[in-house]
Structure 1
Amino acid sequence: MTEAAARASRLPRPSRALLTCAVLAAALVAGISIGETRIPPLTVLQALANRLFGAGLPLDPMDEGIIWNYRLTRALVAACCGAGLAVSGVVLQALLRNPLADPYIMGISAGASTGAVAVTIAGFGAGALSLSMGAFGGAVLAFALVALLARAAGGSVGGRGAVQIVLAGIAGSQLFNALTSFIITKSANADQARGIMFWLLGNLSGVRWHDVALAVPVALAGVALCAAHARALDAFTFGSDSAAALGVPVRRVQAVLIGASALLTAVMVSMVGSIGFVGLVIPHAARLLVGVRHARLIPAAALSGAVFLVTADILSRVIVPGQVLPIGVITALVGAPAFALILIRGQDRR
């Protein structure tokens, strides 16, 4: 834990909550202000005051429309997506006792992508399933397949065989990525294929208020549910047998937390596509800041993930003038070197 983080941890709980809200609010304002068209932060605050409190401040209608209908929804969904994926990574790494576990590597993101594409392109469910439900079904199916494959190879959830679990996750991820490509090739026309391939790399351009209405409650509920099981996750650090000896209902907790992680991943993937490295890098970065106790780690990972993805979204809009890059490209460009640095620092400390 760094000295600055240690000082922050000694703050009273209301002060820590206020600091967290201030950091997140600053990131959201930056995400709204910075883009193809720069909008001053004061104008952003005035537009929000007009919409939320009816302040009646004089503003350019075009700027106000960009802020409310485009930038704000994009920033909110990015924050929810970052928080959800980061917390899912924390949970999977604790339950599987594997520092490489995250929704992307374990195949959950790939399964969610397959489910979403099957519903939207192949018409699976005959209109009875929503995009998010299709993604959730795919995510659960992918994790079940990975768990079965790992068990057949000698690994287990929360037990031994960490290498087998990661290898099973990689195999499952490749399988569901191949299924996604097959569905797109077989059922999509050229325009649909281009749009889906861009979406699969991470795309926030199409999110609107109906996406916010789904993303915010799911992210808040998922993070709160995981935080409520912080003590159980601490117990899983020593293995499922040790957790059971400490009185943790292992099967129930595993089912609840894996289901929550799958739901968080599925909902976010159904909106913005498959985004890698958030669930892998952010939990490790949060541990460097606040330690390994999950009561602090889960909120820190949620905040760090939200700020990270909002920042990545800003970079995706400004790094190439006149062009918006897929946000997954930015997270990979930043996440891969960051994870390499974490690995090197971890090796040096041994």
Structure 2
Amino acid sequence: MARDVRVRAVGWSASLAAVCAVVMVLSAGIGPVRIAPMTVAQIVLDALPWLAFEVPHQATVIVQQVRMPRIALAAVVGFALATAGVVMQGFFRNPMADPSIVGVSSGAAVGAVASIALPALPFGIGLQAAAFVGAVIAAFGVYLIATEGGRTPVATLLLAGVAVQTFLGAIISFLLLQTDESLNRAVFWLMGHLHDASWGDVRATLLVLPPTFLVLLVYAQDLNVLLLGEEDAHSLGIEVERTKRVLLALASLVTAAAVAVSGVIGFVGLVVPHMMRLVVGPDHRVLLPASAFGGAAFLVLTDTVARSGSAELPVGIVTAAVGAPFFIYLLRTREVRRL
């Protein structure tokens, strides 16, 4: 049985990783200067030290320095948000849960808007660092509020998250009133964007994502057991409170790393896990990696749409425009059920 699960997990992960790679190659060819997919593939492979292809210099500069950093960041952020979405939906046993449910996105927004609106922050930290710190503090604060006597009831955690998000929303509104010529920049960040992506952003996110994702994979079976309820999970040998702390901390950390470099991008962590659950089933040992690669492909695709029009849109607008109707369709067809 365990071997069958591993085979399914590897098979779906490899298939969706291949789909993501194809979407990235196709996306890199789309723009004011069209580049053939085969040329893009050769440019990407030419960056490897043991391969060499004859490729046009102009196309190489466009792909490697202009388009691919943004595409790679979209893939990494989509991977992170979908991963966090799967964990949060399983953790709360609620199909409406998403990565922002414990205030991570709101905390990041406070940090980012504060770095824009205020003349100087302590220690000279920039926008992305401020967003990351704000996200981590918000998640930790929600956990402290909801924890009593060493236990953290899921219902209390959910309510604490709602209360903290509301409070942080008020702070964001106040900070926006303090901005002048920087208002557009703050609003643009809040909409979610990948406009100024760089390889440095990708590397910074990858410092957090791979190790946390691997630990979450280890806890995938425990997440399956938690779906039975905390009492049943405890009777089956799961250290419930410790497992909840680990899952919450890692999901919050992954979300914080993504939001810090991309702004608030909604619906990826909500819709993609549902899409993958319909295809691969509810077993988190398969669902977690499948959703991660599915999220990467989804955000690359939606960001391609966002930057392909006559006027570039924040990718958060496109994910909401695509995600909301799809989620309504799932609701109407009763495909969204209690986990």
TM tier, smaller: 0.7 to 0.9
Name the counterpart of 2:334: 346
What CA distance in whole angstroms lies between the structure 2 residues aligned with 1:293 and 1:205? Answer: 36
What CA distance in whole angstroms lies between the structure 1 residues aligned with 2:30 and 2:163? Answer: 39
Q: Is the 8 A contact 1:81 1:219 kept in 2?
A: no
**1:342 CA displacement:** 1.8
Q: Is 2:108 aligned against 1:112?
A: yes
Equivalent position to 1:36, from 10, 26, 32: 32
Name the counterpart of 1:179: 171
Q: Is 2:229 aligned against 1:239?
A: yes
Q: Is 2:55 aligned against 1:59?
A: yes
Q: Is 2:199 aligned against 1:209?
A: yes
Partner SS for 1:178: helix
Partner SS for 2:33: coil
What CA distance in whole angstroms lies between the structure 2 residues aligned with 1:74 and 1:225? Answer: 27
Q: Is the 8 A contact 1:105 1:170 kept in 2?
A: yes
What CA distance in whole angstroms lies between the structure 2 residues aligned with 1:157 and 1:340? Answer: 32
Distance 1:147 1:215, change over 3 A: closer
**1:255 CA displacement:** 1.8
Name the counterpart of 1:300: 290
What CA distance in whole angstroms lies between the structure 1 residues aligned with 2:274 and 2:48? Answer: 37
Q: Is 2:86 aligned against 1:78?
A: no
Equivalent position to 2:307, from 296, 314, 317: 317
Name the counterpart of 2:279: 289
Matched residues, number: 332
What CA distance in whole angstroms lies between the structure 2 residues aligned with 1:263 and 1:276? Answer: 17
Q: How does 1:261-280 map to 2 (within 5 A)?
A: 261-280=251-270
**1:144 CA displacement:** 4.6
- The amino acid across from 2:277 in the alignment is R
The one-character-per-residue Cα deviations of 1:12-71 (angstroms, maximum 9, x if unpaired) are 766555423321211211221223332111111222233223755443333211100121
* Structure 2: gaps (5+ residues): none
What CA distance in whole angstroms lies between the structure 2 residues aligned with 1:196 and 1:13? Answer: 40
What CA distance in whole angstroms lies between the structure 1 residues aligned with 2:213 and 2:204? Answer: 14
Name the counterpart of 1:101: 97
Name the counterpart of 2:215: 225
What CA distance in whole angstroms lies between the structure 2 residues aligned with 1:236 and 1:130? Answer: 39
Q: Is the 8 A contact 2:330 2:336 kept in 1?
A: no
Equivalent position to 1:329, from 306, 312, 317: 317
**1:121 CA displacement:** 4.5
* Structure 1: gaps (5+ residues): 1-7
Q: Percent identity?
A: 36
The one-character-per-residue Cα deviations of 1:241-267 (angstroms, maximum 9, x if unpaired) are 222222222222222221111111111
Partner SS for 2:97: coil
Name the counterpart of 1:142: 138
What CA distance in whole angstroms lies between the structure 1 residues aligned with 2:8 and 2:98? Answer: 32
Equivalent position to 1:124, from 102, 121, 141: 121
Name the counterpart of 1:5: none
Name the counterpart of 1:4: none
What CA distance in whole angstroms lies between the structure 1 residues aligned with 2:194 and 2:107? Answer: 20
Partner SS for 1:205: coil
The one-character-per-residue Cα deviations of 1:57-105 (angstroms, maximum 9, x if unpaired) are 4433332111001211111111111111111111111112222111234
